[in-house]
Amino acid sequence: MAKSGQRKGGTGAGGVRPDRSARFDLVPSTAQGLSSIADPKLRKEVQEAISRFSTVFGGVPERVVKVVDLAADFGAQFADSFAVQAEGGVNSWYYRGIFINRAYTDNPKEFRARVREQYDLGWFSPTTKPVRHIIIHELAHAKWSSQKNSRNARKAAPEISKLYRQWRREKRPGWGNYARVNRNEFVAEALTKHAMGSRDRYTKKLMKILEANNL
Percentage with pLDDT > 90 across the chain = 80
Quickly state the pLDDT bin for 19 (edges 50, 70, 90): very low
Rounded Cα distance between 142 and 122, Å, is: 24
Quickly state the pLDDT bin for 9 (edges 50, 70, 90): very low
* pLDDT, tens only, 160-203: 999 999 999 987 889 999 999 999 999 999 999 999 999 999 99
- What's residue 173's pLDDT? 87
Rounded Cα distance between 99 and 91, Å, is: 16
116-to-64, 120, 125, 133 alpha-carbon distances in Å: 26, 6, 10, 11
* pLDDT, tens only, 111-127: 999 999 999 999 999 99
* pLDDT, tens only, 32-44: 999 999 999 999 9
Q: Is 111 exposed, middle or buried (0-12, 13-18, 19+ CB in 10 A)?
A: buried
Q: Do residues 102 and 68 make contact, with C-beta atoms less than 8 angstroms apart?
A: yes
Rounded Cα distance between 119 and 78, Å, is: 20
Rounded Cα distance between 144 and 181, Å, is: 16
Q: Do residues 181 and 39 make contact, with C-beta atoms less than 8 angstroms apart?
A: no
Q: Is 35 helix (H, G, I), strand (E, B) or coil?
A: helix
Residues in the chain: 215
Quickly state the pLDDT bin for 17 (edges 50, 70, 90): very low
Q: Amino acid letter at 177? A: N
- Max intra-chain CA distance, the chain: 45
Task: Give me the chain's average pLDDT, please.
Answer: 89
Q: Which of 126, 124, 122, 143 is nearest to 18 (CA)?
A: 143
Average pLDDT score over residue span 74-92:
91
147-to-45, 133, 163 alpha-carbon distances in Å: 27, 21, 18
Checking if the pLDDT of 74 tops 50, the result is yes
CA angle 65, 106, 194 (to 5 degrees): 45
